[in-house]
C-alpha cells in the first residue's frame, strides 16, 4: 500500500536534515505504529507524506499503490487515497463543517472521475457516521473545529476519515489531548474502519493508544530513522523501560 | 479661516461651471445654502487630511471621465426578491421601468416633483442631515450634491412596510454624470428596508439622508457592481432616535474609484447602528470606506464591520471613527476593518479612530491586514479540496463576518451568491 524507501528530508527554511533514510512498508489490511521520542521526525514524516510546504525531499521515494506521491499536490494525494488525521486540527471560522466535508468528498470523487454525491445521500452518510462517534448535529453545523474541545477535534478528524474512506490512513498523535473516554471513542472509530483493503500508520509517543488500536507491526523511530521494528511487544517494552534503553541498545 | 488660494480657485472654477436647478422657493433656499457651504469648505483636494488615501480630482472636476458601459448579461441581484422597484437611468427617474409607487405604510415621491411644490415636509430634512454631518469633518461633495441634485426619491414611512423598496440604477451613457439625492423619513415605529443596486452612471454622486424616529427600524443593503470604470462618491447621513435601529450593508465589487461615506448620529437612548461592508477588488480598483459614528445618547450600540479582499494591485481604504460625547454613557462601540491581500501588490490603508469623552463606555476597535492562512489552506487541501477552491472557501469565510451583519437571511444569501460568483469567475 504505502512504500517509503530511503527517505531523506530537509527543512526548507534552515539547513537542517530531519529524516535521514526512512524505510517503511505498510501493507493493505495492516496497522503499523511508529513510536519514538520527541524530535525523532515522526510528525515530519506525516507532513512530508501529506504534502505540507516547507520540506525538501533530498533522497528516496514514497509511493501509494505504486504511484509516486511526493510529486503530487496535497489534494491529489488525498484523491489518491491518502489521509492524515492531524495532531492539531485547524480551526476554520466561516466554513461550515458539513460544507467542508461535502466539498472535500466531491472534489475527491471528481478528481477520480466519479459522480458527485447528492446533498441528500451525503447528509445520510454523515449522520450515520457521526452517530457512531457520538457527534451532535450542532458539531456538524458549526464552522470547522471552531469552539471544539480537544477531544471533539480528534473525533471530527475520525469522522472525516470515515466519510472520505481513504485507502491509507496516517494518524499523527491522535491520542494527544484525549481523556480515557475520548480515546476509547476515537479508537472505536478507527477500528471500525479497519479493513482488508486499508492500511494504517499510527504515530504516537505513548503506548496507551495501542491498547485500543492494536498494531500488527511497531517501529521505533529515532533521529530521523527507523531503528527497530517488531511486533506489539515492542510497544510494551517502550512503555516499561522508556526509549533510553532502546536507543542505547542500537547505539 | 480662509481657504488656501489653490483650493479656493479650484472650488470657484468648479462652481462657475454649474447652474442651480430650478425649483420652488423653499428648495432654492436650501440649494443656495448648500452652495454657500461648498464655498466655505472648498472642494476636496489631494492635500486634505480626509482625502489622504483617495485622490478626489476626478470626483471634483467639471466633466465626468468617460466610463465604458457594463454588459448586464447576468441577472440583476434582488430579482428574486418581492420588492417595489424604483428605476433611474443615468441619474434620471424612469417611470416606465419602475413599479407603481404606492405601497402601504409609505409615500414615495420624486425629488423633481417635490421641488415644484410650494410647501413640502421634505423642507425640514433635505440637506439638513448633510449639513449636520459637516461637523467636525467636512464633506463638500455631499453639500455639492444637495445644491445640484435634480432627482432622487423622497420617502415618508409611516408604518411597517411589507416589502423592500429597491432603487435600481442603470448606466446607459458613457459620459453620464449623475447626482441623486434621496430623503427618507421614518416616523416613530416605522420599518423599512431599502435595497440599491446597479451601475448608476459614469460618475455618480449620491446622498441619502435617513431620519429614523423613535422605535423605528431602517435596513439598507446595497451592491455596487461590476461596472468597472465607474467613479462614485456616495454619502449616507443617518440620525438614529430612541430605541431605533439603523443597519446598512454594502457589497462593492470592482470599480476604479469608489468612496462611500456613512455618517451616523445617535441622538436617542438605546439605539442601534450597524454599518458594514464587504468589498472585493481585482486590479485597477480603489475603494474607500469612510465612516463616522457619533454617540450623543446613552446606552447605544454601534458596530462598524468592514472586510476587503484585494488582488492584483487593488487598493482598499478604511477611515472609521467612533465619537462618544460626554453624556453618552454606557456606549457600546465596536469597529473592525480587515483586509485579505491575495498577493504582494495589493494595498490596504486603515485609519481607525476613537474619541471618547464619556467615562462609562465599552469601545473596541481593530484592524488587520493579512494573507490567506497557510495552515487552513493546507488542511483543506489535505482533505482533497483543490487549492483554488480552498482559497475561495477561505476568502468567503473571511468576508462572512461582514455579510452576517445583514439580518435578513434571503438578502444574505443573495450577497453570498454574488461573492461566490465573483470568486469563481477569477478561479485560476
In the predicted structure, residue B228 carries a pLDDT above the cut 60: yes
What angle in degrees, to the nearest 10, is found between the helix axes of B374-382 and B387-403?
A: 120
| H or E element that contains B12 | helix B5-16
Give the mean model confidence (pLDDT) for residues B239-246: 98
Do B382 and A89 lie within an 8 Å CB cutoff?
no
State CA A61 to chain mean position distance: 19
Residues facing residue B425 across a β-bridge: none
Residues A224/A213, Cβ–Cβ less than 8 Å = no
Do A100 and B396 lie within an 8 Å CB cutoff?
no
Mark out chain A residues that contact chain B at CB-CB < 8 A: 50-53, 73-75, 77-79, 84, 86, 89-95, 99-101, 103-105, 107-108, 111, 143, 160, 164
Measure Cα distances from A205 to A31, A171, A242, B271 in Å. Answer: 16, 12, 10, 56
C-alpha R_g of chain A: 18
* 3-class SS letters over B143-183: HHHHHHCCECEEEEECCECCCCEEEEEECCCCCCEEEEEEE
Of B179, B219, B217, nearest in space to B200 by CA: B179
Q: Helix, strand or coil for residue B310?
A: strand
Q: Which residues of B touch A84 (CB under 8 A)?
A: 382
pLDDT tens-digit map of A117-153: 999 999 999 999 998 888 888 889 889 999 898 888 9
Q: Any long-range contacts for A224-229 (C-beta under 8 Å, 24+ apart)?
A: A224/A9, A224/A17, A224/A18, A224/A19, A224/A20, A224/A21, A224/A22, A224/A40, A224/A41, A225/A19, A225/A20, A225/A21, A225/A22, A225/A41, A226/A22, A226/A23, A226/A24, A226/A34
pLDDT tens-digit map of A63-104: 999 999 999 999 999 999 999 999 999 999 888 899 999 999
Closest-approach residue (CA) in chain B for A111: B384
Do A75 and B394 lie within an 8 Å CB cutoff?
no
Share of chain B above pLDDT 70, in %: 99
Confidence of residue B324 (pLDDT cuts 50, 70, 90): very high
Confidence of residue B346 (pLDDT cuts 50, 70, 90): very high
Measure Cα distances from B97 to B84, B101, B167, B300 in Å. Answer: 11, 11, 11, 40
Share of chain B above pLDDT 90, in %: 88
Q: How many residues does chain B have?
A: 428
* 3-class SS letters over B44-58: CCCCCHHHCCCCCHH
Which of A93, A101, A103 lies closest to B389 in CB terms?
Answer: A103
Does B368 contact A at CB distance below 8 Å? Answer: no
Q: Helix, strand or coil for residue B350?
A: strand
Instruction: Report the mean per-residue pLDDT for chain A.
Output: 90
Of B249, B169, B251, nearest in space to B202 by CA: B169
Give the mean model confidence (pLDDT) for residues A186-202: 91
Q: Which cell numbers hold the place of B343?
A: 498577493
| Upper half-sphere CA count for residue B117 (Cβ side, 13 Å) | 12
Which of B374, B376, B384 lies closest to A107 in CB terms?
Answer: B384
In the predicted structure, residue A59 carries a pLDDT above the cut 90: yes
Residues B101/B180, Cβ–Cβ less than 8 Å = no
Measure Cα distances from B425 to A49, B419, B422 in Å. Answer: 32, 10, 5
Q: Which cell numbers hold the place of A18?
A: 530531519
pLDDT tens-digit map of B161-209: 999 999 999 999 999 999 999 999 999 999 999 999 998 999 999 999 9
In the predicted structure, residue B2 carries a pLDDT above the cut 90: no
Mutate to test the interface with B, among A50, A86, A92, A113 (most CBs of B within 10 A): A92
Do B384 and A51 lie within an 8 Å CB cutoff?
no
Residue A161: its pLDDT value, please? 94
Do B383 and A100 lie within an 8 Å CB cutoff?
yes
In the predicted structure, residue A181 carries a pLDDT above the cut 60: yes
Q: Which residues of A touch B405 (CB under 8 A)?
A: none
Closest-approach residue (CA) in chain A for B379: A90
Which of B376, B384, B389 lies closest to A92 in CB terms?
Answer: B376
Which of A51, A75, A143 lies closest to B385 in CB terms?
Answer: A75
User: Which residue do the cell numbers 446595497 mark?
Assistant: B222
Residues facing residue B249 across a β-bridge: B221, B276
Task: Provide the whole-model pTM.
Answer: 0.90
Mutate to test the interface with B, among A86, A98, A107, A126 (most CBs of B within 10 A): A107
Q: Which cell numbers hold the place of A248?
A: 542505547
How many helices (H) and strands (E) chain B has is answered by 9, 20
Do A78 and B381 lie within an 8 Å CB cutoff?
yes
* Phi/psi at B206 (5° precision): -130, 140
Confidence of residue B1 (pLDDT cuts 50, 70, 90): low
Q: Which of residues 377-406 of B touch A (CB under 8 A)?
A: 378-387, 389-390, 393-394, 396-401
State CA B121 to chain mean position distance: 24
Distance CA A62, CA B387 (A): 22
Do B384 and A79 lie within an 8 Å CB cutoff?
yes
Measure Cα distances from B288 to B219, B308, B309 in Å. Answer: 22, 10, 13
Do B401 and A94 lie within an 8 Å CB cutoff?
yes
Q: Which residues of A touch B401 (CB under 8 A)?
A: 94
Residues B381/B390, Cβ–Cβ less than 8 Å = yes
Residue B73: its pLDDT value, please? 72
Of A17, A28, A21, nearest in space to A200 by CA: A28
In the predicted structure, residue B420 carries a pLDDT above the cut 80: yes
Q: Which residues of A touch B393 (CB under 8 A)?
A: 95, 99-100, 103
Q: Helix, strand or coil for residue B243?
A: coil
Give the mean model confidence (pLDDT) for residues B21-50: 93
Q: What angle do CA A75, A81, A85 make, to 5 degrees?
A: 75
Instruction: Report the mean per-residue pLDDT for chain B.
Output: 94
Which of A84, A90, A103 lies closest to B385 in CB terms?
Answer: A103
Q: Which residues of B touch A164 (CB under 8 A)?
A: 383-384
pLDDT tens-digit map of A206-218: 888 888 889 999 9
Closest CA–CA distance from residue A105 to any residue of chain B (Å): 7
Amino acid at each position: 500500500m504505502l512504500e517509503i524507501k530511503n527517505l531523506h528530508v530537509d527543512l526548507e527554511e534552515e539547513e537542517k536534515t530531519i529524516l535521514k533514510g526512512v524505510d517503511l512498508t505498510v501493507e493493505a489490511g495492516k496497522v503499523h505504529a511508529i513510536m519514538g521520542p520527541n524530535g525523532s521526525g515522526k510528525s515530519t514524516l506525516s507532513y512530508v507524506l501529506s504534502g505540507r510546504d516547507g520540506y525538501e525531499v533530498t533522497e528516496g521515494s514514497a509511493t501509494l499503490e505504486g504511484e509516486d506521491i511526493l510529486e503530487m499536490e496535497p489534494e491529489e494525494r488525498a484523491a489518491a487515497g491518502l489521509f492524515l488525521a492531524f495532531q492539531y486540527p485547524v480551526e476554520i471560522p466561516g466554513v461550515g463543517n458539513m460544507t467542508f466535508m461535502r466539498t472535500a468528498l466531491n472534489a475527491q470523487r471528481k478528481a477520480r472521475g466519479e459522480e458527485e454525491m447528492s446533498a441528500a445521500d451525503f447528509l445520510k452518510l454523515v449522520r450515520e457516521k457521526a452517530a457512531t462517534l457520538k457527534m451532535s448535529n450542532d458539531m456538524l453545523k458549526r464552522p470547522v473545529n471552531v469552539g471544539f474541545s480537544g477531544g471533539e477535534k480528534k473525533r471530527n478528524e475520525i469522522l472525516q476519515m470515515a466519510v472520505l474512506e481513504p485507502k491509507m490512513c496516517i494518524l499523527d498523535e491522535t491520542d494527544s489531548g484525549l481523556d480515557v473516554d475520548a480515546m476509547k471513542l476515537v479508537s472505536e472509530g478507527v477500528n471500525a474502519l479497519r479493513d482488508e483493503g486499508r492500511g494504517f500508520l499510527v504515530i504516537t509517543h505513548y503506548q496507551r493508544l495501542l491498547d485500543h488500536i492494536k498494531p500488527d507491526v511497531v517501529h521505533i523511530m529515532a533521529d530521523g530513522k527507523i531503528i527497530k521494528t517488531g511486533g506489539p511487544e515492542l510497544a510494551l517494552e517502550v512503555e516499561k523501560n522508556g526509549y533510553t534503553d532502546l536507543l542505547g541498545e542500537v547505539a | 479661516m480662509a481657504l488656501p488660494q489653490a483650493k479656493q480657485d479650484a472650488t470657484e472654477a468648479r462652481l462657475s461651471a454649474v447652474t442651480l436647478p430650478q425649483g420652488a422657493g423653499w428648495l432654492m433656499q436650501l440649494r443656495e445654502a448648500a452652495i454657500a457651504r461648498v464655498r466655505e469648505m472648498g472642494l476636496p483636494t489631494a492635500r486634505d487630511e480626509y482625502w489622504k488615501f483617495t485622490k478626489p480630482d476626478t470626483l471634483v472636476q467639471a466633466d465626468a471621465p468617460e466610463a465604458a458601459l457594463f454588459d448586464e448579461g447576468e441577472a440583476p441581484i434582488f430579482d428574486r426578491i418581492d420588492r417595489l422597484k424604483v428605476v433611474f437611468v443615468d441619474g434620471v427617474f424612469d417611470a416606465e421601468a419602475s413599479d407603481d409607487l404606492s405601497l402601504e405604510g409609505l409615500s414615495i415621491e420624486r425629488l423633481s416633483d417635490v421641488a415644484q411644490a410650494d410647501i413640502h415636509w421634505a423642507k425640514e430634512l433635505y440637506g439638513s442631515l448633510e449639513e449636520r454631518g459637516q461637523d467636525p469633518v467636512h464633506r463638500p461633495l455631499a453639500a455639492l450634491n444637495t445644491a445640484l441634485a435634480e432627482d432622487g426619491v423622497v420617502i415618508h414611512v409611516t408604518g411597517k412596510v411589507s416589502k423592500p423598496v429597491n432603487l435600481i440604477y442603470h448606466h446607459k451613457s458613457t459620459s453620464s454624470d449623475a447626482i441623486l439625492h434621496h430623503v427618507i423619513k421614518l416616523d416613530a415605529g416605522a420599518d423599512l428596508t431599502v435595497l440599491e443596486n446597479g451601475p448608476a452612471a459614469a460618475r455618480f454622486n449620491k446622498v441619502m439622508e435617513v431620519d429614523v424616529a423613535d422605535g423605528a427600524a431602517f435596513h439598507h443593503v446595497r451592491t455596487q457592481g461590476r461596472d468597472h470604470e465607474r467613479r462614485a462618491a456616495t454619502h449616507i447621513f443617518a440620525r438614529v432616535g430612541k430605541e431605533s435601529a439603523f443597519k446598512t450593508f454594502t457589497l462593492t465589487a470592482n470599480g476604479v474609484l469608489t468612496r462611500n461615506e456613512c455618517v451616523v448620529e445617535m441622538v436617542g437612548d438605546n439605539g442601534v447602528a450597524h454599518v458594514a461592508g464587504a468589498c472585493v477588488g481585482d486590479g485597477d480598483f480603489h475603494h474607500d470606506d469612510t465612516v463616522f459614528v457619533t454617540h450623543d445618547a446613552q446606552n447605544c450600540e454601534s458596530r462598524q464591520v468592514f472586510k476587503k479582499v484585494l488582488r492584483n494591485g487593488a487598493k482598499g481604504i478604511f477611515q472609521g471613527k467612533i465619537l462618544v460625547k460626554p453624556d453618552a454613557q454606557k456606549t457600546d462601540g465596536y469597529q473592525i476593518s480587515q483586509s485579505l491581500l491575495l498577493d504582494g501588490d495589493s494595498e490596504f490603508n486603515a485609519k481607525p479612530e476613537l474619541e471618547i469623552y464619556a467615562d462609562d463606555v465599552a469601545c473596541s476597535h481593530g484592524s488587520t491586514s493579512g494573507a490567506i492562512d497557510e495552515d487552513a489552506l493546507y488542511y483543506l487541501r489535505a482533505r482533497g479540496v483543490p487549492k483554488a477552491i480552498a482559497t475561495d472557501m477561505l476568502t468567503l469565510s473571511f468576508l462572512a463576518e461582514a455579510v452576517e451583519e445583514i439580518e435578513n437571511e434571503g438578502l444574505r444569501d443573495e450577497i453570498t451568491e454574488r461573492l461566490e460568483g465573483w470568486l469563481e469567475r477569477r478561479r485560476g
